[in-house]
Amino acid sequence: MKKLFLFTAAIFAVAEVRAEVGIADVFARQTTSLNGKWNVIVDPYDTGYFDYRRQPYDAGGKVTGGYALDKQAKDKSDLIEYNFDTSPTLNVPGDWNSQDDKLFYYEGSVWYRRKFDAPKTAADHRLFVYFGAANYEADVYLNGQKLGKHIGAFTPFAYEITALAQAKNNSLVVRVNNSRHADAVPTVNTDWWNYGGLTRDVLLVETPATFIARFRTQLKAGTTNTIQASVELDGAIQGQTIKINFPSLKIAAEMTADKDGGARFELTTPNLALWTPENPVLNDVVISSGEDLLQDRVGFRSIATRGTDILLNGKKVFLRGICIHEEVATEGRRAWSEADARMLLSRAKELGCNFVRLAHYPHNEHMARVADELGILCWEEIPVYWTIQWTNPATLKNARKQLYDLITRDQNRASVIVWSVANETPVSAERTKFLKSLVDEARELDGTRLVSAAMEVHSGTMENHPGAQPENHKIVDDPFGEYTDLCSFNQYTGWYDGTLEKIDRTTWSIKYNKPVVISEFGADAKQGLHGEVLTRFTEEYQAELYRRTLPMLDLIPGFSGCTPWILFDFRSPRRPLPGIEDGWNIKGLTGHDGEKKMAFDVLKNFYAEKAKAAAAK
Ligand code: GCB
């Protein structure tokens, strides 16, 4: 654990004004919310960031001008051409696109400013400002001083502000820029909306001088009654005591921190009920050290593969899944709240799911927390999507950092069983090397979960299928499949590849003796559009595609689950077809009006049969 912490610090020590700090598990703390209305200045030319020579005002860390200083005209003759106080406001958390029509397609900078008081409850306490996420790049300033720059749209970051914060009237300014870049993760081309803004919670965190930077709890491998936990202090004095207590299990332990401020526990209990989708048992845990105290709820389970089976707590499980984007379709906006998470995951439950694929980037922290509670297994992913710059070291570093931040954030969630490092990346030696490095990273950080990626299929014949018709024969032999725990791939027979009748003729060659999880299939349908079965974009076509695809997949040896594309329609600028798509990807089983399409019940019935078969075993 210590090693992970140093890794973050090392990356940012050079590049940043101030290092991002490793304060994890903020949801397990008492925090002060900075959510609400923030004043904003829309700045397409980045006037507030650059001087007239396009030199940043914060070069070298010192802020010499621009909007970060949050100035006001002192008198009538003072020339200042911006004013946060009289500027409009946007809600935080929230994307800007859905809050103001003028910002619907906007890609560029918006400056956010929030004033706040920060009375500390003790003189030696420390203060941090925490952001759940900002898309894509965030420059953060407090009282006219730069805290740092964060890159990456979907992962949390925090800065220590102990020395800079005043008791009253602090000015927190963030320049958020959602421009797309070829070397970024994701790169310029995706199939989802580029929602900009401070899209997740912003929190003020007060801690004692020495605080619990992070902790981890897990079931000890090969056991059903032993909990392993590690705790890491920041600012530790060697010899400080760390306590861990599971009140409902009636077990507790206490240790002295080692020289790095860490402690590792092993606790055995005869009363441990394992977490399962049917019985998602969460146990209260209280971790304390000195004045600091964290309180959380954690479940314990094991996940593994054996041949083509997935084993949850040692028992074979079929993943009845669905893909989800982080979006509230009925309101055409990014999802961010616990209520949003409950709405999305409850709809998945209604479909009979025990599994969701949170595509294609880390969703907000509420998702895995609510999934923990509702008993829904999760596949979490980083946005290594389509055509990333495989040979660019900065791009790899960026992807690794996003993976690190995701794993650090969600490692205590029993619901999370898969870390996915990519989606539909065309095969090449450079790409496989890039992805392999992410797999290694994931395994090093967390050896207790499965690692995978959504791969692609191609057509042709293979030696072991001499009679197969090349156009109907699907091959899964991506060399990257050597390194993953699951053989997961997207396939769109009947939609991008032929029409419905092609599905019935499909045969398969799968190179890997691993559980097969189909990470996507689907078809577009406009909710309420009906017609004859072969008419594209009708509900009938989509329902028939599900009707034919599910039994076809069920014949694949090792078929262990699927996550069809997708639970709800979602906004995408790649989908302009007037009167049909109108800027939406309409492969949802639920329309953006919230109404279910016919295919919803087709999948629901299939899952009901699968659940029945599993219960009978
Ligand atoms: C895919 C992508 C997904 C797209 C989907 C589609 O294969 O992984 O991001 O939205 O197809 O609808 O084309």
* C-beta of 587 in contact with ligand 1 (< 6 A): yes
Give residue 99's identity as a one-letter amino acid code: Q
Residues 6+ apart with CB under 8 A from 431: 388, 390, 425, 480
Q: Between 248 and 236, name the one with better pLDDT.
A: 248
Assess whether the C-beta atom of 423 lies below 6 angstroms from ligand 1.
Answer: yes
Q: Which atom of ligand 1 is nearest to the CA of 496?
A: 13
191 CA distance to ligand 1 centroid (A)? 7
Atom of ligand 1 nearest to the CA of 492: 7
Is the Cβ atom of 490 under 6 angstroms away from ligand 1? yes
Nearest CA to ligand 1 atom 3: 191
Ligand 1, atom 10: nearest CA belongs to which residue? 191
The preferred substitution site among 520, 568, 584, 589 for testing ligand 1, maximizing ligand atoms within 8 Å of CB, is 520
CB 149 within 8 A of CB 165: no
More confident residue, 411 or 5: 411
Residues 6+ apart with CB under 8 A from 310: 303, 304, 316, 317, 318, 319, 450, 486, 515, 517, 560, 561
Inter-residue contact 418 to 384 (CB < 8 Å)? no
Strands (E), 117-209: 126-131, 137-142, 145-151, 157-160, 170-177, 202-207
DSSP per-residue string spanning 306-333 = ETTEEEETTEE--EEEEEE-SEEGGGTE
Tell me the residue type at 110: V
pLDDT (tens digit, 9 = 90+) per residue, 378-418?
A: 999 999 999 999 999 999 999 999 999 999 999 999 999 99
User: CA triplet 548, 553, 554: central angle to 5 degrees?
Assistant: 100
- For residue range 347-380, list pLDDT tens digits in order: 999 999 999 999 999 999 999 999 999 999 999 9
Q: Is 58 in the pocket of ligand 1 (CB under 6 A)?
A: no
User: Is the minimum distance from the CB of 381 to ligand 1 under 6 angstroms?
Assistant: no
Closest ligand 1 atom to Cα of 585 = 12
Predicted confidence at residue 11, as pLDDT, reads: 36
Coil/strand/helix, residue 42: strand
Closest residue CA from atom 13 of ligand 1 = 191
Residue range 60-87: average pLDDT?
A: 95
Asked if residue 420 has its Cβ within 6 Å of ligand 1, the reply is: no
Nearest CA to ligand 1 atom 4: 191
| Of residues 358, 334, 425, 294, the one with CA closest to residue 99 | 334
CA of 573 to the centre of ligand 1 (A): 13
Distance, CA of 568 to CA of 323 (rounded, Å):
9
Q: Are 402 and 152 in contact (CB under 8 A)?
A: yes
Phi-psi region of 400 (alpha: psi -120 to 50; beta: other; left: phi over 0): alpha
Question: Measuring CA to CA, which residue among 345, 406, 408 is closest to residue 380?
Answer: 406
Ligand 1 atom with the shortest distance to the CA of 359 = 9
* Ligand 1: centre distance to CA 63 (Å): 42
Q: Tell me the average pLDDT across 272-294.
A: 97
Q: Does ligand 1 come within 6 angstroms of the Cβ of 365?
A: no
Provide mean pLDDT across the span 3-32. Answer: 61
Cβ–ligand 1 contact at 585 (below 6 Å): yes
Cβ of residue 410 lying under 6 Å from some atom of ligand 1: no
Give distance in angstroms: CA of 291 to centre of ligand 1.
49
- Tens-digit pLDDT profile for residues 18-62: 577 778 889 999 899 999 999 999 999 999 999 999 999 998 879
226 strand-pairing partners: 268
332 CA from centroid of ligand 1 (Å): 18
Q: If you measure from the C-alpha of residue 45 to the centroid of ligand 1, how many angstroms do you get, rounded to a whole number? A: 33
Atom 7, ligand 1: residue with shortest CA distance: 490
Instruction: Give the pLDDT confidence of 479-509 residue by residue, as tens digits.
Output: 999 999 999 999 999 999 999 999 999 999 9
- Indicate the pLDDT class of residue 3, thresholds 50, 70 and 90: very low
Atom of ligand 1 nearest to the CA of 490: 7
Tell me: pLDDT of 474 over 90.
yes
Q: How many Å lie between the centroid of ligand 1 and the Cα of residue 497?
A: 13
Assess contact for 219 and 226: CB atoms under 8 A.
Answer: yes
d(CA 317, CA 301): 13
**Residue 332 falls in which region: left (phi positive, over 0), alpha (psi -120 to 50) or beta:** left
Residue 581, amino acid: E
Contact call for residues 46 and 58 (beta carbons, < 8 A): no
> Please, which pLDDT band fits residue 13 given cuts at 50, 70 and 90?
very low
